[in-house]
Amino acid sequence: MVLIGILEVIGMIFFFNKKKDVNEMMKTITEPADPSMICKFVLDSSGKKIGESVSVTEDVLIIKSGSLFLGVPLKHVVSGDKTLVVKGLFDFTKAYELGEKWRKESYREMYQHDQSAKKSK
């Protein structure tokens, strides 16, 4: 009987500790990314194509431009029906730094001859 009581107390402590972790994680989550901004061509203010939007992370739009990834703060992006426009001057160096940071943290290239795909066959 005492053993059951002890197990109940331990279970409740575990349950409430997990609840706190989930609540703390929920506080750190920012606004969800707008999925309508992904897979659109991105133009600069003069109408020249920069690339295609591939992700929205926190407050940064990630653009694939050739083999590079560029990051532009969302406050500088205007969403249209079929395209996105970067308003104002486009700082390529800063955009490259933001895109490279995203690539290192989030991007994983998939190869046709991936070893894990061979094992599953």
pTM of the model: 0.63
Q: What three-state secondary structure class fits 42?
A: strand
54-34-81-66 Cα dihedral, nearest 10 degrees: -10
Question: Does residue 57 fall inside a structural domain?
Answer: yes
| 75 and 44 belong to one structural domain | yes
Output the pLDDT for position 25: 36
Instruction: Give 43: exposed, middle or buried? Use CB within 10 Å, 0-12, 13-18, 19+.
Output: middle
Residue pair 22/28 in contact (Cβ under 8 Å)? The answer is: no
User: What is the span of the domain harbouring residue 46?
Assistant: 35-106
Q: Amino acid identity of 31?
A: E
List the strands of the sheet with 68-73, edge to edge.
Answer: 68-73, 60-65, 49-57, 41-43, 83-86, 77-79
Is the pLDDT higher at 72 or at 2? 72
| 44 and 13 belong to one structural domain | no
| 14 and 64 belong to one structural domain | no
pLDDT tens string 66-114: 999 999 999 999 998 889 999 987 789 999 999 999 999 886 766 666 5
| 53 and 74 belong to one structural domain | yes
| 57 and 83 belong to one structural domain | yes
Number of structural domains (the chain) is: 2
CA distance 62 to 89: 17
Question: Does residue 65 fall inside a structural domain?
Answer: yes
pLDDT tens string 34-51: 678 899 999 998 899 999
| 26 and 75 belong to one structural domain | no
Q: How confident is the model at residue 20 (pLDDT cuts 50, 70, 90)?
A: very low
| 90 and 64 belong to one structural domain | yes
Residue 49 belongs to domain with CATH number:
3.10.20.840
